Structures are given as structure tokens and as C-alpha cells.
Structure 1
Amino acid sequence: MRLLYWSLLIGVAGIISPAHAQMSANSPSVAEGVRAFGDRLGPDVVKGVTELYKPLHEAASKEGVTVTKDIAYGSGERQKLDLYVPSNLPAGAKVPVLVFAHGGGFVRGDKKDVAHFGVYFAQHGIVTALINYTYAPQASFPSGGEDVGKAVAWLREHPEAHPGNVGSIFVSGNSAGATHAATYGFLTSAGKPDDGVRGLILISIPTADAEDLAQQDKVYYGEDASKYPGMSIIHHVADRKLPIFLAVGENDMPSIQRQNKRLVDALFARDCKLPNYKTALGHNHISIIEHFGTADESLGPDILEFIRENAGT
């Protein structure tokens, strides 16, 4: 009888597992629609997944957030950020700051495409700056990391513009934006005065190992393979030892899975322990960022906890 009880319990748990429940929290059709694309990435996947989530983002509450758009953090045309600020903080309160760089294969994308990400974190009490950066081929490695650094510097130099604690900044990005965040965190900021950055949050980083580039990414890295080792994040993780949170989708492309495996190995070699790592079950390269701000909380609570643990406040 006891064996039958546990068999039934395990069977039910398999049907309504927390991971399945998370992704299906919006509706089974969204989860099924995302899974149907498998681990591919192409224009049809980008369009299809964003269309699945568009009505959810439109219906989501935007209350409790003040947004200021297109603040120049540098002199370049695309060096602008949108600032999402919690509007219901107590007077004088200082909260963590999150800087986020969008994806787009180094050549496309825009901060407006991830507005739901800014709203989500601001609604959870975090000042969030969504940044644009200069595209390749006008920009080349490590300019994305330098743009992130300029955004961090602007936030630190303009404390009157937001209630963020400039000694508690987290740098993040998805896809190409994750590469730019990591480039700043491990390379372009290494050895410089304290910038207030307390952690990195990298979602589906595509090029941690530049010696394993996809052909299309060479528009940013260039064609000179002799330079790739020095451009590889995995060779610089010891240059600045920041806490790190990594995330991939269960159905991220095989190249993304491989790149993250190499970054995990490098961080394990550095720290003799595994980094904070989360696989967003059921998600792909697009839905892993589209699901923020919906009923699906596959990653949000984990990132919020990572920020809380490392904020130093």
C-alpha cells in the first residue's frame, strides 16, 4: 500500500511539477507554443514567441513605476538609457540598481523591446536602467562593455536622478547584451577603482568563449582569430571576482548551451565551486526574457534573491 501511495504521489508530481506549472501559469497555449519551436532560433521564432507574449505584456500592470526615456549616458547616437524607478519608495530610501543590456546578435534590438523587464524589477523595488548600445559593425569588441561602463558611470555621477544606491549596482544582459555585461564585469572594469558593481546576471550568453564563435558574431569580433583568446570571457574570470548568476533556457540553442558550459567550467576552476546557475525549463532563447512580468516566474524570484544576497546593504 505504501509503495502504491508513493508511486501515485510521484506520478502526480510529474504531471504538475513546479517547473511545468511556472511556464503554464500564463496559459497552456503559451507554453506549448514556445515548446513547439524547439531549440531553433530564426526570424520566425523571434516573431512567433514575441507575439505569444505581446498580449500578456500589454495586459500587465505598469503601476508603481516611473519611467524616464532616452537619457543620454554618452555622446553616441545609441548611447541612451531608459530609467525605471519604483514610485512608492519611502522618502530617502536607497535601493539596488540594475543595468540591463538587450539582445540582438550585436547588430539589432532595442531597449523598448524589454520594457517589461524594466517594469518587473522596478515593481520589485529595484531602480532599473535599460540601455541601448552601438551596433556592429560600427562597434567592435570590447565597445559593448565600454558602453555598459558609461551607463554605470552615468548612474553613479547622477544620484539626484534616481533613488538607487550607487554602491549596489548589478550589471545584466541577455544574449549579446549578456556578452557586453560580462565584458564590462570581467575585462573593461578590471583593475579600476570600485564602481559599485556587486554582481553580474548573464542570461543566455552567446560568446563566453570567442574561440568558438558563430560566423555571424564575427561582425563584432572581427576576422582575426589570433585575437580571439584575449577576447574570451572564460580567460578573464579571474581578473575581477564578482558574484555571478547564469541562466539559460532548457531549449536555448546548442551553441548557447555549449558556451555556458565553458563559462561554468571557467568559474568552477576559479572558485572551486559551481556558480549560481538556473535552467529555465521549457523556455527558449526568446521566451527566457519575454516571460518576465507575466504570471510565469521561472527566473524573476531567483534573480531578486541573488540581488538581495549580494546588495551589501
Structure 2
Amino acid sequence: MDVAQETLGNLPAETRDDFARIGPVWGRDINAHRDLVIDAYSPLLAAAARDGGTCELAREIAYGAHARQRLDVFASARTRAEGGADVVLFVHGGAFVRGRKSVNGLIYDNVSRWFARRGCVAINIEYRLAPEAPYPAGAEDVAAALEWTRAHAAAFGGDARRVFLVGHSAGGAHVATYLGDPVLAAKRASQGGEVAGAVLISARLVADVLPENPNAACVRAYFGDDETQHAPRSPLAHAERIGVPLMIVVAEYENPLLDTYGAAFFARVAQARQLAGPAAPPLRFLRMPRHNHTSIVAHFDSGETLLGDAMLDFFKG
């Protein structure tokens, strides 16, 4: 398969040219470039939501006491009737200080809707933000949402033993922290076993405040002012502790350093699993050509299926 030809193929040629133009300079103005990507995909997602049939079952369900501890559930009527489906628990991004599970009524809903249409129960969560809720609050909210999901998955047609965590950007950091950080060890142990697997998409896996990081202030807001604590609190520090099937995905045009951190995370997990031998859980790495930090999730349910299909294959494996 020519992966480069499979990506962005559903977008008009002019839009693909725009993406190619902003790709190499993505990090110079992330906000403007992100808005361009959202504007490009929103009409496609609106049409898909309108024409593809509804999979939404419930909105704004509380999994905790805080106003942001809310989740939405997507599943088809067939999935609910048949039961036993894989469950995809999606955690949005937002540099630790912003973001919602439904940015404009389309973005992030599109991820859950796409998986729901393919027979999964898909759950989209919102979580507390820094500076009100610093480290490890995001990972604690992942734990709380997972606990709710396992308790209620069957009611929506899902298998509580087959929950896959998927996190984008800061959401990927929260997923990775939940899976590996010793600070969450007691919570993981109390929840009755590991998840079925996890996918980290364009995740912030190192808590850096380097000059080239445009979100350095946001990292500081979440991980704290004490820079000596940033490395031990980074998901990368605990990568080898993650014992579940793991898939790491990066875009060709990332927010500065995120692709490097994703590769380093993969290498550290791979080394640990090589030592563990043939019984080690599966590990995959995928780099999405021509995509950027936003389009890597905004494209779900727009007609392009390369990443989604790879994730479904990973779930089955």
C-alpha cells in the first residue's frame, strides 16, 4: 500500500495543497494552522453526521462530581442489541489547559462516531484542566471514566473486558500516565485488571518546557513549576512499566518534538518487551504521512480510513 497516497485523498486538491504548504511550518503558528484544518474538515464531518445515521445514545453523563467529568456514548442499535463489542474510550487533547470532548459539535465526536459505525461502543470523555487540576488529575479522570465504562459497558452493548484507551495530544499523556506511572499503581490495581490495549496519538510524552515548545507554559501549568519534577512525571519515564498492547501514532507534521518523543517512547517500550520475550504484549508504531497534529484526529469520519482501519486491526490482534 502506498500510504502517502491513502492519506488526505478525500480532501479537495486545493486543500491538500494548503496542508502541504503549512506542514513544514506547522509549529510557527499552531493556532492559525489548527483553525485551517478544522475549517477544512468540518463540512465533511457535518455531512457524514447528517447522512450516516445516528449512533449517539447518551450525552453529558457524569462519571465524577466535577462539571467537566462528563462523557458521551456512541453505539449503533445493532451493537446494543448484539452485545460483546469492543469499547473505545477516547481522551481529547488541549495542551492540558483547554479542550472539550466536542469542540464545535463535530471535532472529536467524529472519532467516536466512526468507531461506533464499525461495531464498537465509543465513549468520548471530558476531564478537569490545569491549573485548577494539576498532575496527576488528568490520569485520575481517565481512571474514573474507565471505572464508569466497565460498570456500564454492557448496557450499551460493550464488553467490559475489551476496553481500549485512545488519547490524543495531552489526552495521550493522561492515558500513558494512567497506564505506567507508579502514582496511579494503586488505582490500576483496584480496578481489576489491565485494559485490552491503548493507542497514543500525537501524545505529549515528555513534560518539557523547552523554548521550542509553544505549549511550554501549559506544560508548566499541569506538571508544576518545579522543573526537577518534570522528567519523573513524564510518561516517558515509565514507558517500560506499560504492560498492555500498545500502538503509538505520530503525524508527519507535529507540534515541535512530539514525533521525537513518540519514537523515543516506542523504542523504550520495545526494548523492555524484547527482554520480556515472546509473551510480551503487541507493540506497533505508525507515522501518518502528510498529516499534522490536528488532522490526525480531525480526519476520522471524513472518508479517509487508513488510521482507523489500522486501529481496528490492532484491536483484533
1:75 maps onto 2:59 in alignment = no
What secondary structure sits across from 2:248 in the alignment? Answer: strand
TM-score (normalised: structure 2): 0.86
1:19 maps onto 2:19 in alignment = no
In the TM superposition, what whole-angstrom CA distance separates every residue of 1:213-236 from its partner, at most 9, and x where no partner exists?
A: 642211100111222232121221
Counterpart CA distance in 2 for 1:73 and 1:289 is 24
Counterpart CA distance in 1 for 2:80 and 2:127 is 33
Amino acid at match of 1:42: I
Task: Name stretches of at least 5 consecutive residues in structure 2 with no aligned partner.
Answer: 276-281
Q: Which residue of 1 aligns with 2:19?
A: 34
Aligned CA distance change for structure 1 residues 52 and 85 (closer, same or farther; 3 Å):
same
Aligned CA distance change for structure 1 residues 99 and 159 (closer, same or farther; 3 Å):
closer
In the TM superposition, what whole-angstrom CA distance separates every residue of 1:83-131 from its partner, at most 9, and x where no partner exists?
A: 0112223734210111111111111111113111111000011101100
In the TM superposition, what whole-angstrom CA distance separates every residue of 1:110-157 from its partner, at most 9, and x where no partner exists?
A: 111311111100001110110000011001111101101100101112
Q: Which residue of 1 aligns with 2:289?
A: 281
What secondary structure sits across from 1:103 in the alignment? Answer: coil
Counterpart CA distance in 1 for 2:308 and 2:97 is 27
Q: Which residue of 1 aligns with 2:247?
A: 245
Counterpart CA distance in 2 for 1:90 and 1:182 is 29
Contact 1:127–1:162 (8 Å) recurs in 2: yes
Which of the residues 81, 84, 105 maps onto 1:94? 84
- What is the root-mean-square deviation in Å for CA atoms of aligned residues? 2.1
Counterpart CA distance in 2 for 1:144 and 1:35 is 33
What secondary structure sits across from 2:239 in the alignment? Answer: coil
How many angstroms does 1:193 deviate by? Answer: 4.5
Contact 1:34–1:287 (8 Å) recurs in 2: no
Q: How does 1:41-56 map to 2 (within 5 A)?
A: 41-56=29-44
Contact 1:173–1:180 (8 Å) recurs in 2: yes
Which stretch of the first structure deviates more once superposed, 274-283 or 191-200?
191-200
Counterpart CA distance in 2 for 1:92 and 1:55 is 32
Q: Which residue of 1 aligns with 2:93?
A: 103
In the TM superposition, what whole-angstrom CA distance separates every residue of 1:162-215 from its partner, at most 9, and x where no partner exists?
A: 111001100111101111111112222554453451111000012x22356642
Counterpart CA distance in 2 for 1:170 and 1:242 is 10
What secondary structure sits across from 1:254 in the alignment? Answer: coil
Which of the residues 238, 256, 259 maps onto 1:257? 259
Larger Rg: 1
Contact 1:209–1:262 (8 Å) recurs in 2: no
Which of the residues 174, 181, 201 maps onto 1:180? 174
Counterpart CA distance in 1 for 2:118 and 2:307 is 13
Counterpart CA distance in 1 for 2:208 and 2:255 is 18
What secondary structure sits across from 1:236 in the alignment? Answer: helix
Contact 2:63–2:71 (8 Å) recurs in 1: yes
Number of residue pairs the alignment of both structures matches: 293
Aligned CA distance change for structure 1 residues 90 and 119 (closer, same or farther; 3 Å):
closer
Q: Which residue of 1 aligns with 2:278?
A: none
Which of the residues 135, 152, 177 maps onto 1:141? 135
Counterpart CA distance in 1 for 2:167 and 2:73 is 15
Which of the residues 210, 228, 244 maps onto 2:207? 210
How many angstroms does 1:272 deviate by? Answer: 2.3
Q: Which residue of 1 aligns with 2:279?
A: none
What secondary structure sits across from 1:112 in the alignment? Answer: coil
TM-score (normalised: structure 1): 0.87
Counterpart CA distance in 1 for 2:307 and 2:110 is 14
In the TM superposition, what whole-angstrom CA distance separates every residue of 1:268-304 from its partner, at most 9, and x where no partner exists?
A: 2211299301111100011111111112223110001
Contact 1:127–1:163 (8 Å) recurs in 2: yes
Counterpart CA distance in 1 for 2:90 and 2:209 is 25
1:166 maps onto 2:151 in alignment = no
Amino acid at match of 1:140: P
